[in-house]
Amino acid sequence: MKGKTLLLRRFLVVLTVLVLLAGCGAEVRGDGAAPEAGYPVTVTNCGKEITFDHAPARIVAYDSGILETLFALGLGDRIAGYVLPKGQDRDIATSPWKADFERVPRLGVDTISKEVILAAGADFVYAGWNYGFREDTGLTPDRLTELGIPSYVLTESCRNGLGEKSRGIMSPLEALYTDLRNLGRIFGVSARAEQLVAQYQAEVAQVAAAVPADRHRPRVFLYDSGTDKPFTAGRYAAAHEVITKAGGDDIMSDLDDSWVTGTWETVVARDPEVIIINDYDPPSAADKQKFLASYPPLAQVTAVREKRFLALPYAALVEGPRNPAAVRTVADYLNGLG
């Protein structure tokens, strides 16, 4: 009887400690500890399954489209900080989530590093290949795994095996919806993710339905940058479906890549009727248009001859929550050509 009483007292002591820890917000974990309610969750990212036994609390992210996706999901309070190239400052100024950008610490510009991530105490990194992850800087998902930090790769940037570093494994809008749903599950906000997906799908469908059936589909070229050779968007970049869902024909749709270098000879041969300019600095959209309008090989291209240029923010043309609104903007422009 005495032994049973002693065991009962020990049990009550342990139980009291656990209750006090829980009340202080501490997590009690061990080899056999139960995960948070609703966890573990497993998602497939770039063909690889990743599992989370709790929702990350300190995110470090790179690139404006990626950050706006997190903000749209209501995860701004979980972002420990972000790194953003200075050329994307215009995206902050025009962002529907400008207030979120201003609340969250900016940890650096241009290059995101493991030192920045570790200093921020990150338990989750969201970036993409050439959107923060790069072999030449030593920052890769595998390297973060070695450091014990889980990461998520932007689906638009997934390597597809069609070239040494070719990117894109699904249609661009489907990539957006996939990431929203995956992030919704990882962070326990699936209801919000599904709400956004339904909203964006409805908006794109509404725009597509409003394109006159007998309207000519203008040939469209997306110009990002470059003088000797144009940097542009292939069929796996968000810009591709921004164009096609708006009722245009993307002249680079045969490129099995997302963002890629093309040739001026191809542009001239395919004679775009409209040129969309990716608006980020440097150079400015105005300077890019000035170059295109004065570049001799393009002199007889219809878009240049007719002065049909449309500038859109960078965040509207890479994968992110501005894509559906960009479809509407482009459709309005193309519909207005007559």
The pLDDT mean for the chain works out to: 90
CA distance 236 to 173: 9
Task: Fill in the amino acid letter for 229.
Answer: K
Residues in the chain: 338
* DSSP code, position 245: T
Q: What is the C-alpha separation between 127 and 132, in angstroms, rounded? A: 5
Considering only residues 25 and 210, tell me which one the structure prediction assigns the higher pLDDT.
210
Residue 87 maps to a domain: yes
Of the candidates 170, 304, 180, the one whose C-alpha atom is nearest the C-alpha of residue 241 is 170
pLDDT at 4: 39
Q: Is 53 in the same domain as 150? A: yes
- Max CA pair span of the chain: 100
Residue 111 tokens read as 């290059």
Q: To which H or E segment does residue 174 belong?
A: helix 172-186
Query: By C-alpha distance, which of 206, 280, 210 is closest to 239?
Result: 280
Q: Are residues 271 and 171 in the same domain?
A: no
pLDDT of residue 35: 57
> Could you tell me which of 269, 335, 283, 270 has the C-alpha nearest to residue 311?
283
* pLDDT score of 26 more than 60: no
Domain contains 195 = yes
Tell me, yes or no, whether 304 lies in a domain. Answer: yes
Give yes or no for a contact between 317 and 326, defined as CB atoms under 8 angstroms apart. yes
Query: pLDDT digit string (tens) for 240-293?
Result: 999 999 999 999 999 999 999 999 999 999 999 999 999 998 899 999 999 999
The structure tokens 């095996």 sit at: 161
Give the count of alpha carbons within 13 A of 60, CB side only. 25
pLDDT given at position 30? 31
> pLDDT tens digits for 79-117?
999 999 999 999 999 999 999 999 999 999 988 999 999
Q: Note whether 118 and 190 are same-domain residues.
A: yes
Tell me if 212 sits within 8 A of 240, measured CB to CB.
no
The single-letter DSSP state of residue 35 is: P
The model scores a pTM over 0.85: yes
Q: Where are the beta strands (DSSP E) in the chain?
A: 41-45, 48-52, 59-62, 79-83, 106-108, 124-129, 132-133, 151-153, 219-223, 231-233, 249-250, 259-261, 274-279, 309-313
DSSP 281: S
Half-sphere exposure of 134 (CA within 13 A, CB side): 10
CA 24 to chain centre: 36
Q: How far apart are CA 239 and CA 317, in angstroms?
A: 5
pLDDT digits (tens, 9 = 90+) for 295-316: 999 999 999 999 999 999 999 9
Evaluate whether residue 19 is within a structural domain.
no
CB-CB contact of 312 with 277 (8 Å): yes
At residue 8, the pLDDT reads 37
Q: How far is CA 184 from the centre of its chain?
A: 14
Band of residue 27 on the pLDDT scale cut at 50, 70, 90:
very low
Domain-terminating residue out of 199, 224, 244: 199
Q: 140 and 84 share a domain?
A: yes
Mean pLDDT calculated for residue range 28-56: 80
Q: Is the pLDDT of residue 192 over 80?
A: yes
Does the pLDDT of residue 132 top 70, yes or no? yes
Residue 74's SS3 state is coil
Decide if 11 is inside a domain.
no
Single out the residue in 199, 220, 254 at which a domain terminates. 199
Tokens of 46: 């770039």
Q: Are 309 and 188 found together in one domain?
A: no
pLDDT in the model for residue 318: 98
The band of 34, judged by pLDDT with boundaries at 50, 70 and 90, is low
Residues 243, 184: one domain? no
Residue where one domain finishes, among candidates 149, 166, 199: 199
120 and 174 part of one domain: yes
pLDDT at 185 over 50: yes
pLDDT band at 164 (very low <50, low <70, confident <90, very high): confident
Structural contact between residues 133 and 141, judged by C-beta atoms closer than 8 angstroms: yes
Percentage of residues in the chain having pLDDT higher than 90: 86
Q: Is the pLDDT of residue 17 over 60?
A: no
Measured CA to CA, the distance from residue 48 to residue 263 in angstroms comes to: 34
pLDDT at position 143: 96
Q: Flag whether pLDDT at 18 surpasses 80.
A: no
Would you state the structure tokens that stand for residue 195, as one six-digit string?
């709400």
Same domain? For 55 and 154 the reply is yes
Q: Is the pLDDT of residue 19 over 90?
A: no
Residue in the block written with tokens 């890769």: 140
Which CATH number fits the domain that encloses residue 301? Answer: 3.40.50.1980
Domain span including residue 247:
212-335
Quick check: is 25 in a domain? no
As for how many domains the chain has, the answer is 2
